[in-house]
Amino acid sequence: MVLYCTEERDRVNLHCVMARLQRIHHILLSVLCVLLCPTALVAASSSAPDTRPRIVAFGDSLTAGLGVSADESYPAQLQRRLDTLNYRYRVINAGVSGDTTAGGLRRVPWVLNSKPVLVILELGGNDGLRGLSLDQTKSNLRQIIQRLQQAGVTVILAGMKLPPNYGQEYTMGFEAIYPTLAKQYQLPLIPFFLEGVAASATLNQADGIHPTKEGYRMIVEQILKILSPLLDHRTMKS
C-alpha cells in the first residue's frame, strides 16, 4: 500500500512537471514569434515589387554621374528630393558615359522596357563636342522623342550649349535644336541643363565639364521647376 501511494505520487509529480514544461514551451514559442515576425514582415516588404511610376533619366555622362559616387549623381539626388516632397516615383538612371544621340536612339527599346511614365532626355552634348552633323543630331533626337511619345511617355527635353570655340554658326545652330524640337513636339524644356553650373570652378570637377555633388544638387533644383508641375498635374488626373 505504501509502495502504491509512492508510485501514484511520483506519477502525479511527473505529470505536473510535464505540464509545466509544455507551458514553458508555449511561452518560448510565443516570444520567438514576436521576435521573428517583424523580421519576416520586413523581409516580405523588401522583396515586394516596386510599383511606383517610373521616371527614366536618359542621357550621357552628365546623367550617369561620371566622376561622382552613384548616390551623388543627379538621378539619385532627384530621387531623394522627390521622396522628401512626397512624390511617389522611382527614378531610374539610364545614363551612359560617352553616349551620343545615335547611341541613345539605339537604346530607346531598353528605356521603354522600364515602362516609364516620364523621361528626362539629356543627350546631344557629345555630338556637339565632336562636331557632328547638326542635322543628324536633330534627326536622332526627333526620332527618340517620337518613339517615346508613341509609347505614351511624357518627355522633358534638356537643352545643351557648347563652348564658343566651336564657332558662332555651329554653336548657335546646335543650341537652336532644343527649343525647336520642344516647340514642334510640345515638350517641357529645360533651356540649359547646366544652367548656373557650367564654367564654375567650384561646381565642376577638374575636367571643367562634369558637375560635382553640389553642382548636381543645383541641377536637380532646376529640373524640379519643370518636373514638379507635371507630377502635380498627373496627381490631379489620377
Specify the DSSP class assigned to residue 14: H
Residues in contact with 143: Cβ distance below 8 Å, sequence separation at least 6, in sequence order = 105
Polymer length in residues for the chain: 238
Selecting among 60, 61, 73, 99, the annotated active-site residue is 61
Helix residue ranges, H only, the chain = 2-47, 61-64, 74-84, 101-113, 125-129, 134-150, 168-184, 213-237
Residues in contact with 184: Cβ distance below 8 Å, sequence separation at least 6, in sequence order = 142
Selecting among 45, 46, 69, 207, the annotated active-site residue is 207
Q: Is the dihedral of CA 64, 46, 154, 156 positive or negative?
A: negative
Specify the DSSP class assigned to residue 238: -
71 is catalytic: no
61 is catalytic: yes
210 is catalytic: yes
Grid cell, residue 38, equals 517583424
Contact of 178 with 187, CB cutoff 8 Å: no
Catalytically active residues, by annotation: 61, 207, 210
